[in-house]
Amino acid sequence: MVLGEIEITRTSDGLLRSPGHLIRVAQQVHTRLWNEHVGLEITAPQFGVLLALALEPGSDQRTVGERASLDKATMAEMVGRLVRRGLVLRRRDPADGRRKLLSLSPNGVQLVREATAGVVQVQRTLFEPLDETERHHLVATLGLVARLEPIAIAALADARPLLDAQRAVGYLIRVAQQVHTRLWNEHVGAELTAPQYAVMHVLALEPGIDQRTVGERASLDKATMAEMVSRLVRRGLVLRRRDPADGRRNLLSLSPDGQDALRRSADGVREVQRLLLEPLDEADRDRALELLRKAARL
């Protein structure tokens, strides 16, 4: 269909062919599995930091952040929290007072040991919809999308279920999502987030549908969807009304301002999707989307 001067494709050919959307939903699946099998005591990025220290004890904070693909500010905040919890030991480098050297405390060593079985189960369960060949291909694809170095990408084809960051599929999904976020900020900007764009894309295709259905189409849980719709309504981008046939349901549609915002974002969104898959050969891009859909359970 056409909205103003931009073409909006059907959802099956739109969101389900959007690598950024598929990566986000795959990350949601990973988070759900993590909560089920590892729990809330430690997050996946925190485990990545602890694992890096288990593999390279005494590393400086900057290097550990690079291993775990965390920016400087996020790494500093996370290390501070892990130190306060008694999981990480931190000291100044005697050879360079500007550097902080990190190592696991005994409690940190114990937590890594206890969490490892659950982390392995998360990786296995995330891979369940794929056969062995597809798993290798997805890992290699995510390595490219995540912009890992060639030497690291070569390691991704290793079939051994190791937990180091370069081989853990949950880690790769997170880093690919970080790449998507960076590209989105560069080419779309702050007017709409990617999940907000997904909601508005659905409403452009199916104006007047109920809020629950929009959330399902955009792969958003009930609480997140409710908060997002309220924000979009307050911004004047979405219109909301009670369903006259069922007062418990909210019916949604785009406002004229919402249509304009969607139109303004369209070129940038297309550029993000193009750049996200740019490291892949043309012939591999459809295959990548198929594998991401499987990992995302879509």
Reduce the DSSP state of residue 263 to 3 states and report it. Answer: helix
pLDDT digits (tens, 9 = 90+) for 192-213: 999 999 999 999 999 999 999 9
* Average pLDDT of every residue of the chain: 88
Q: Is 103 helix (H, G, I), strand (E, B) or coil?
A: strand
- Write down the pLDDT at residue 13: 53
- The helix (run of H) or strand (run of E) holding residue 251 is strand 246-254
Instruction: Specify whether the backbone of 92 is left (phi greater than 0), alpha (psi in -120 to 50) or beta.
Output: beta
Rounded to whole angstroms, the Cα distance separating 196 from 203 reads 11
3-state secondary structure of 9: coil
CATH, domain range 44-108: 1.10.10.10
Q: 112-147, pLDDT tens digit by residue? A: 999 988 988 998 899 899 998 998 889 889 989 998
Q: What are the helix (H) ranges across 6-95?
A: 19-37, 44-55, 61-67, 72-84
Task: Give me the pLDDT at residue 89, please.
Answer: 96
Given a contact cutoff of 8 angstroms between Cβ atoms, the answer to whether 202 and 196 are in contact is no
Collapsed DSSP state (helix, strand, coil) of residue 39: coil
Instruction: Show the DSSP H helices in 56-103 as ranges.
Output: 61-67, 72-84
Hey, is 89 helix, strand or coil?
strand
E strand or H helix at 94: none
Residue 160, classified by CB atoms within 10 Å of its CB into exposed (0-12), middle (13-18) or buried (19+), is exposed
Q: Does domain 2-19+190-273 have CATH number 1.10.10.10?
A: yes
pLDDT at residue 150, as a whole number: 56
pLDDT tens digits for range 218-263:
999 999 999 999 999 999 999 999 999 888 899 999 999 999 999 9
DSSP-assigned states of every residue in 113-136: HHHHHHHHHHHHHHHTTS-HHHHH
CA distances (Å), origin 58, targets 61, 86, 103, 220: 9, 16, 5, 41
CB-based contact 68:156 (threshold 8 Å): no
The yes-or-no verdict on residue 74 having pLDDT over 50 is yes
2-19+190-273 and 44-108 in the same fold: yes
Q: What is the pTM of this model?
A: 0.85
- pLDDT at residue 210, as a whole number: 96
pLDDT beyond 60 at 5: no
Could you tell me the maximum CA-CA distance found in the chain, to the nearest angstrom?
73
Give pLDDT, residue 96: 83
Give me the pLDDT at residue 69, please.
85
Asked if 146 contacts 176 with a C-beta cutoff of 8 angstroms, the reply is: yes
pLDDT at 82: 97
Question: For residue 109, how many other CB atoms are within 10 A of its CB?
Answer: 16
pLDDT at 4: 40
**What would the DSSP string read from start to end of 150-206?**
HHHHHHHT--S---STTT-HHHHHHHHHHHHHHHHHHHT-SSS-HHHHHHHHHHHHS
Write the burial class of residue 187 (CB in 10 Å: 0-12 exposed, 13-18 middle, 19+ buried): middle
Residue 148 is inside which H or E element, if any? none
User: What is the bridge-based pairing of β-strands 246-254 and 238-243?
Assistant: antiparallel
What residue spans define the domains of the chain? 2-19+190-273, 44-108
